[in-house]
Amino acid sequence: MITVGQPAPSFTLPDHTGTPVSLGDFAGQWVVLYFYPKDNTPTCTTQACEFRSHWSEVQRSGAVVLGVSPDSPASHQRFRQKYRLPFPLLSDADHAVAERYGAWGPKRLFGLRYDGILRTTFLIDGNGVVRHIVEKVRAKGHAGEVLRSLRNTSTPSRLTASPNATAP
């Protein structure tokens, strides 16, 4: 499991156009790296659209947003176009990057157990160091939570979604 203060694991993944994107491409910038299960599902759409709705604030913060899921670049392209998402979506088809970040693990749905993406967000500083981790993300309100964390960059923390947050 990644902890605050550790260097973020490097990666190179294809984006929604198939172009390789590496964490190192964003040296000197804050990166909001968020892992989500699947394009075009209600909760994942809410989460992505929240970042879109707060896009001007994200840009003012100087951060880059990268969404990561196991979906294909073609699926990501359709998802971006449908919801006018202004940030790259990366394809982690074999979930190797999610595993390195601790964002892949056991889940339950309707009593069934399976392995999948654990909705998690990492804030990585311009030196490639993990400064904040948000686990068990609640999609509604998440972009605002991330922006508040970016404003308070001097206090690294591990966050868990508020139990009072409303799940979509």
115-138 as b/e: b if 16+ CB within 10 A: ebbbbbbbbbbeebebbbbbbebb
SS3 label, residue 2: coil
User: Of 32, 44, 68, 118, which is the active-site residue?
Assistant: 44
| pLDDT at residue 111, rounded to an integer | 85
| pLDDT at residue 102, rounded to an integer | 94
**pTM higher than the cut 0.85:** yes
Block means of pLDDT (10 residues each) for the chain, length 168 residues? 92 97 94 95 92 90 94 97 96 97 89 90 94 86 84 52 36
Q: What separation in angstroms does the CA of 107 have from each of 36, 101, 115, 117? A: 13, 16, 6, 8
Contact at 8 Å (CB) between 52 and 44?
no
Active site residue 49: no
Tokens linked to 43: 């909760």
| pLDDT at residue 145, rounded to an integer | 83
Secondary element (H or E) of residue 44: helix 42-53
Under 8 Å CB-to-CB from 12, ≥6 apart: which residues? 20, 21, 22
Q: Whole-angstrom Cα distance, residue 141 to residue 165?
A: 8
Contact at 8 Å (CB) between 86 and 64?
no
